Amino acid sequence: MKIRATLLTCALFLVNANSSEIHPFLRGFLPADVNVSRVLDGGNSKTEYSTGFTGEVGAEFLAEKESSPFYFGGGIGFMNAQRKDKLKLTPSTIPIWGALSLRSTKSFKDIAPYGTLRAGWLLPATTASAWWEKPKNFMVDAGVGFHYAPGVGLEFSYTFTSLEKSFEKKDLSYRFSSGRFGASCYWSFEITHKHNYVPNEGTTPEDEE
């Protein structure tokens, strides 16, 4: 019920937003460690693996209300698997998230800095039942970047992901956690834009345009 109410609230906000954008993006992650926590019959052990470069492709939808510097929205993507040489530690995943972004209202040569926070779920892109027995998978992300007026942007981010692999019949589970630094580029496409005209002294609407 709470999820439905949240989705309805978000939908109403997006419909009544003054402007909205969609950002298709490509992101690369630096090599990072994956911490594996193994729980068997109540006992716990931990192992750490080093993994290589990974990547993500996706799109994010953002909207703002009444010329506010805050943008709200969400996105969906595809993140490839983390591997240690030929050993696949985690499957590819489909992240789904909500986002809050604060964009500067002042720009320098059409470049505006921004910061963003994201949180969401990770859906394993696999049919292996062990990844779906207890799908307590999540991600959090924080980034800073620069938005260029013609419609492109560059962002640097830190992303933490956590996935659980469970074998209930054996009372065995694994949790794979990893923090990764990454960089992404995106393209911005404006979907709607309702201009709120606030006159400056000695100007007309035509002058403002």
Query: What pLDDT score was predicted for residue 56?
Result: 98
Token pair listed for 104:
């500067």
- pLDDT at residue 199 above 50? no
H or E element, residue 173: strand 172-187
Q: Which residues contact 129 (CB under 8 A, 6 or more apart)?
A: none
Coil vs helix vs strand at 13: helix
Query: What pLDDT score was predicted for residue 69?
Result: 84
- Beta strand ranges found along 80-151 (DSSP E): 82-84, 87-90, 93-103, 111-124, 138-148
Query: What pLDDT score was predicted for residue 17?
Result: 55
Side chain identity, residue 53: F
The pTM of the whole model exceeds 0.75: yes
Query: What pLDDT score was predicted for residue 41?
Result: 76
188 close to 21: Cβ distance less than 8 angstroms: yes
Q: Which residues contact 58 (CB under 8 A, 6 or more apart)?
A: 24, 25, 27, 75, 76, 77, 78, 95
Query: What pLDDT score was predicted for residue 200?
Result: 46
Per-residue pLDDT of 24-80, as tens digits, reads 999 999 999 999 999 887 778 899 999 999 999 999 999 887 667 888 899 999 999
Q: What is the mean pLDDT of residues 175-191?
A: 94
Query: What pLDDT score was predicted for residue 193?
Result: 62
Query: What pLDDT score was predicted for residue 142?
Result: 98
Per-residue pLDDT of 69-109, as tens digits, reads 888 899 999 999 999 988 999 999 999 999 999 988 777 77
50 close to 85: Cβ distance less than 8 angstroms: no
Per-residue pLDDT of 119-166, as tens digits, reads 999 999 998 888 888 778 999 999 999 988 778 999 999 999 999 999
Token pair listed for 74:
């969400």
Choose between 103 and 17: higher pLDDT: 103
Query: What pLDDT score was predicted for residue 205?
Result: 44
Q: How many residues does the chain have?
A: 209
- pLDDT at residue 203 above 50? no
Instruction: Establish how many alpha carbons lie within 13 A of residue 145's alpha carbon, considering only the half-sphere containing its beta carbon.
Output: 21
Query: What pLDDT score was predicted for residue 53?
Result: 96
Question: Whole-angstrom Cα distance, residue 93 to residue 115?
Answer: 25
Query: What pLDDT score was predicted for residue 9?
Result: 52
- pLDDT at residue 18 above 50? yes
Structural domains in the chain, sorted by start:
2-208 (2.40.160.20)
